[in-house]
Structure 1
Amino acid sequence: MQEALVVEDVAESGRWLRCLLEEAFPGIKVSVCRNCRSSVEYLSANHPDLALVDINLPDGNGLHLIPHILQTSPQASVIVTTILDDQEHILTALQAGAHGYLLKDLSEQQFIRKLRGILKGDPPLSPKVARKVLQYFNGNGASATNKDMTASPTATEVEGLSEREREVFVLIAKGLSRKEVAELLHLSDNTIATHVRNVYRKLNISSRAEAALEACRLGLISTEF
């Protein structure tokens, strides 16, 4: 990680997140923006590797920044950092393309550990968040957003994956990086990238975090995060 953007309107919280990032990734350059407008201006000239985004900002909803961040910085890992732990905000964030969702009530060491896990491909999700998303996919919660929710794939749809695609799906969901999967399966990085794209398309998912949650729902990996 070389550069990070923190979108946070509370100055104290911004300083706290900056300190956590600097401890998690020594030498990282951290920029703090306190609203949507300044964030968009920053992104017009910078391409961060990581973005921590709060939801309630003075001039709008931070979740609306996620597609813009990913459009201008496709390589960025976008993590929502908030105190809001309801299903509506969690699912809306993941649908918008967020790679993770961390609650600010985590201890500093837990927060740092989750951030460092990004380098290994681990989905940075607070345990409480993971449980709520799993409850949704297991049908224990009502529809949590006013957006149209695409149904999760059934077992039959998962059977539509090739044997190799299923294998790659499970390894990616467990947190292995694409490079690690390639080395483990003795395949090229390009081949693994193709399998990952096919899996995402067939399962109608778009991020590593969603892959992990879907694999948990299907019982392919543990529900512990």
Structure 2
Amino acid sequence: MAVKVLILEDNPVARGFLCRVVRESFSDIHSITEVSDLDAARRLLGHPPGGRAAPGIDPFQLIMVDLELPDGSGLELLTELANYPATRIVTTLYSDDEHLFPALQCGADGYLLKEDRFEVLVEELQKIVRGQPPLSPAIARRLLTHFRSGDSVAPLSVASPPSAAAPATVMMTADHERLTPRESEVLTYLSKGFTIKEIAALMGIKWFTVNDHIKSIYKKLNVSSRAEAAVLASKQGLV
């Protein structure tokens, strides 16, 4: 099954540009659906305003969302996509904290600036296949500057750290037991340094399915990076 893409963008010129970026970024595109407002996106995803989008028989694997739309904010849709198994990327002109951090907190998996050059956006979008967050260079620098300067921001992770009463080793064992066999296999490959595309080839599945497994692994193990997952895998004797 090839990748289905949904692009939510009200500007037709920008929408066409993003379509070209997507086609250049992936070789296995099934279709690209373009919509210009929240209402149209919700109809496609099958949920009302304020509801939760649920995957149907043939769900989208990649959803690109503009923040400022004629009928509301793209942040609304990001929140409604909390349980939807797609990679969610914000595409916007805004690089300030007031737009960046709320988007990440609402569930964005990446943040791209539409003003970037075509080849830069293609390169950043392709990072999805390698298991890296697609972030425009200016956004990546902004995040580094923000945290290195000691600025405070609400936690971006949904998971809570283990309590003092529960040793980390106990938490890891319990969490690892909740992984499915497929997730354990993906974790093993991740720990050995394979990319998402390589894992997909080894397991005979699509890259976006591997990406879904990785998201589930991170959530269950209460980690936010490949390195943290690798440490847990090593302690569990998987590598």
TM-score interval (norm. to shorter): 0.5 to 0.7
Distance 1:132 1:65, change over 3 A: same
Match 2:99 to one of 61, 77, 89? 89
Distance 1:19 1:178, change over 3 A: closer
- Secondary structure in 1 aligned to 2:135? coil
Summarize deviations over 1:60-83 as a string: whole Å, max 9, x none: 110110132343x31x10000001
Query: Which residue is 1:58 aligned to?
Result: 70
Deviation at 1:195, TM superposition (A): 11
Q: How far apart in 1 are the matches of 2:215 and 2:8? A: 34
Summarize deviations over 1:66-101 as a string: whole Å, max 9, x none: 132343x31x10000001011222111111111100
5+ unaligned residues in a row in structure 1: which ranges? 184-192, 216-225
Deviation at 1:102, TM superposition (A): 0.6
Summarize deviations over 1:27-68 as a string: whole Å, max 9, x none: 431111111111101111762110110000011110110132
- Residues 122 and 176, structure 1, Cα contact 8 Å, conserved in 2: no
- Secondary structure in 2 aligned to 1:84? coil
Asked whether 1:123 is paired with 2:133, we answer: yes
Task: Output the TM-score relative to the length of structure 1.
Answer: 0.66
Query: Which residue is 1:190 aligned to?
Result: none
- Secondary structure in 2 aligned to 1:51? strand
Query: Which residue is 1:43 aligned to?
Result: 45
Query: Which residue is 1:30 aligned to?
Result: 32
Asked whether 1:109 is paired with 2:128, we answer: no
Task: Output the TM-score relative to the length of structure 2.
Answer: 0.63
- Residues 90 and 133, structure 1, Cα contact 8 Å, conserved in 2: no
Query: Which residue is 1:12 aligned to?
Result: 13
Q: How many percent identity over aligned positions?
A: 29
5+ unaligned residues in a row in structure 2: which ranges? 47-55, 177-186, 203-212, 230-239
Query: Which residue is 1:133 aligned to?
Result: 143
- Secondary structure in 2 aligned to 1:79? strand
Summarize deviations over 1:158-203 as a string: whole Å, max 9, x none: x9476xx9xx6xx67x89439749x8xxxxxxxxx69964x54565
Q: How far apart in 1 are the matches of 2:214 and 2:134? A: 24
Q: How far apart in 1 are the matches of 2:121 and 2:68? A: 20
Q: How far apart in 2 are the matches of 1:79 and 1:150? A: 15
Distance 1:176 1:137, change over 3 A: farther
Aligned AA for 1:47? P
- Secondary structure in 1 aligned to 2:64? strand
In our comparison, the structure showing a higher alpha carbon Rg is: 2
- Secondary structure in 2 aligned to 1:29? strand
